[in-house]
Amino acid sequence: MPGAGKDEFIKVALERGYKEYHMGDVVRYHARKSNIPVSDESIGKFATDERKRYGMHIWAARTVAQMKGKEKVVIDGLRNMEELDYFRKNLRCLYVVAIFASRKDRLERILRRGREDDVKSEEGLIRRDSRELSWGIGEVIALADYTLVNDGTLGDFKQKAGRLLDKLSVKK
């Protein structure tokens, strides 16, 4: 869910030689090309409309289209089972890692990071959570291969992330 700690997980992955892909960046890129205003509501509506028009997997397909060969990657932003199925069909090795944090912690982090298209209030986060749950993210989280709980310090979370990434590297 938004603000859970995905970017911090990715920073740890980058230190281990992964390349990052953010599905949200792909959405924002296509939104800019379509002259969509930069706000959480506008970008979210655009993402939903594109899913209705092209299928629930569209953002996974557009993300995979940016990848180059056999990179070791971490992908941020998986939101539904159709995207997961698309990734499974198009990527050689895939592990889903769910990162959990309370809504209170997530809101504090989102307000601190101050990204232009982020929500600005608890009510906004509730609306965003509802929208993303409507896309099917709850099922993806429930069926994840691994879950990291991000309820402590940043250092603790980075250690958890590092241990998991090291474990996954051995499994390949």
Contact assessment for residue 24 and residue 83, using Cβ atoms and an 8 Å cutoff? no
Question: What CATH number should be reported for the domain holding residue 142?
Answer: 3.40.50.300
pLDDT value at 11 more than 80: yes
Domain span at residue 76 reads 6-171
pLDDT tens digit string along 149-171?
Answer: 999 999 999 999 999 999 998 77
Structural domains in the chain (count): 1
CB-based burial of residue 117 (10 Å sphere; 0-12 exposed, 13-18 middle, 19+ buried)? middle
| Residue 54 included in any domain | yes
The H or E element containing residue 97 is strand 97-100
Dihedral angle of Cα 81, 87, 89, 92, to the nearest 10 degrees:
-140
Question: Could you tell me the pTM of the whole model?
Answer: 0.88
What pLDDT is stored for residue 172 in this prediction?
61
| Residue 28 included in any domain | yes
Q: What is the DSSP code string of 114-150?
A: --TTS--SHHHHHHHHHHHHHHTHHHHHHT-SEEEE-
* Maximum C-alpha span of the chain: 44
What pLDDT is stored for residue 123 in this prediction?
96
**Lookup: tokens for 92:** 């050689």
Percent of residues, the chain, with pLDDT higher than 90? 85
| Residue 1 included in any domain | no
What pLDDT is stored for residue 157 in this prediction?
98
Average pLDDT value for the chain = 94
pLDDT tens digit string along 87-145?
Answer: 999 998 899 999 999 999 999 999 998 888 789 999 999 999 999 999 999 999 999 99
